[in-house]
Structure 1
Amino acid sequence: MRALLFLYGNGNILGCALALAGPALLFAGVIDRGWLAITAGLYVGGWLLGRRAPELERRIEDSLSLEETLRRLDEVVARASPHLTEDMRHSLESVRGLVVEVLPQLMDAGAGGDDLFTVRETVLRYLPETLANYVALPPAFRVTQPLKDGKTARQLLGEQLGLLDAKLREVVANLAASDAAALVANGRFLEKKFRQPDFLEG
């Protein structure tokens, strides 16, 4: 798997693209001796330029105010958005709106064994970490390499975000109805689906 990540990585792709200039310059007569070293140097330069993946915040601290928590969540979503499909962005926008509705209760859940504790953990920990792990994957790898159940990282993330959206809608409804049993069920479902945020681990 590490070999595939390297092969599909932006650094390797950019390095290979720049390295092609070496033989091209040789055939054009621009360079002669030392063309192999020049080609290798071009590859290394491309690899260094392209290897750095965007970094997203992996967890939003429990101690922040409601406003700061929402701002940090917005930052995570904004940085991840360029790497997501339209459907993923739509799901995240919906999740964000639902979080605004339940944010006070989610933050209060940190004080004890509240029914909302797992829901809060999903929003503040598992969601940012899942997005960060997805964005860290090479773009070509996300859409071509089958992972769990033969699905690509893009397909898996799309399903997870859709499920999170649906479950948070249930949480909002259950909060309005003060249905504690349903909230426990919601939390357990979210924990099962999001507790393994690394796409490379089945």
Structure 2
Amino acid sequence: MQPLTFKMRALLFLYSTQNLLGCCLALLGLGMFFTGIIADWWFPIVAALYAVAWLAIPADKELELQLQSESSQSSLTDSVDALIRESKSRLPHEAVDGLHRIQSILQDLAPKIFSGEVAMNYVSLLINAVNRDLPQTIKNYLHLPTAFATMHVIENGKTCKQLLLEQLHLLETQLGKIATDIYKNDADSLVINGEFLKEKFHTVSFIQ
């Protein structure tokens, strides 16, 4: 089990219910100080209000444990490898091709996801997509007899095979959008760094 990075732990703390409520109560205490309701001992009172929220709400260890148990590059990509290996013989070849494309996206993203450089919401979306949404989609399809899934129309004139391909395409599209957002942030950082270097090493001429 790979330990969470410092940045990941910091984000978990900042977005925790304990911290958010604690900040609200602390701001309430500051508001009472600035409006003259309290004067002496204002700092201990503000700190105590924050502590009340921290102690009153149990720590959300479930999310941290989930992320920690799943937060490794190998676990993310290996789960898709296993899914393809175990299901490809019963899936349409188009679906297998879609799974390979999803696998390729994840292989490129995995090193960045667990480096601590990616926003927590992206990490959560990717982990849920790989460990929950994708397996459940495949599982639902594999419960059906092949002939029924291929030939029987069940919704909006579409067969189960067509619905499966649509759902896989939706997952692939969403993962692609997440990847684009992450890479765009990197590209923006590169542009900003380039501008900084130009400014830093710009040669100033004193000769007119």
Tell me the TM-score normalized by structure 2. 0.49
Q: Report the counterpart of residue 106 of structure 2 in structure 1.
A: 99
Measured in 1, the distance between the counterparts of 2:76 and 2:183 equals 22
Which one of 135, 155, 160 corresponds to residue 153 of structure 1? 160
Q: Is the Cα contact below 8 Å between 2:150 and 2:160 reproduced in 1? A: yes
Alignment of 1:8-87 (within 5 A): 62=67, 63-64=69-70, 65-87=72-94
Q: Does 1:138 align with 2:145?
A: yes
Q: Is the Cα contact below 8 Å between 2:76 and 2:127 reproduced in 1? A: no
2:79 maps to a residue whose letter is R
Structure 1 position 172, deviation (Å): 1.4
Structure 1 position 120, deviation (Å): 2.5
Q: Unaligned regions of 5+ residues in structure 2, if any?
A: 1-65, 187-208
Q: Unaligned regions of 5+ residues in structure 1, if any?
A: 1-60, 180-202
Q: Is the Cα contact below 8 Å between 1:98 and 1:169 reproduced in 2? A: yes
Alignment of 1:119-134 (within 5 A): 119-134=126-141
Measured in 2, the distance between the counterparts of 1:115 and 1:67 equals 18
Size of the aligned set, in residue pairs, is 118
Q: Is the Cα contact below 8 Å between 2:79 and 2:131 reproduced in 1? A: no
Q: Is the Cα contact below 8 Å between 1:146 and 1:153 reproduced in 2? A: yes
2:131 maps to a residue whose letter is L
Q: Report the counterpart of residue 163 of structure 1 in structure 2.
A: 170
Measured in 2, the distance between the counterparts of 1:159 and 1:175 equals 24
Which one of 174, 178, 185 corresponds to residue 185 of structure 2? 178
Percent identical among aligned pairs is: 26
Q: Report the counterpart of residue 88 of structure 1 in structure 2.
A: 95
2:121 maps to a residue whose letter is D
1:177 is paired with a residue whose SS is helix
Q: Deviations over 1:48-89 (max 9, x none)?
A: xxxxxxxxxxxxx75143213322221111111111222211
Rg larger in 1 or in 2?
A: 2
Structure 1 position 107, deviation (Å): 5.5
* Larger RCO (CA within 8 A; separation ≥ 6): 1
2:129 is paired with a residue whose SS is helix
Tell me the TM-score normalized by structure 1. 0.50
Q: Is the Cα contact below 8 Å between 1:107 and 1:120 reproduced in 2? A: no
Structure 1 position 144, deviation (Å): 2.1
Structure 1 position 146, deviation (Å): 1.9
Q: Deviations over 1:88-132 (max 9, x none)?
A: 1111111001011222455689xx962442232112211011101
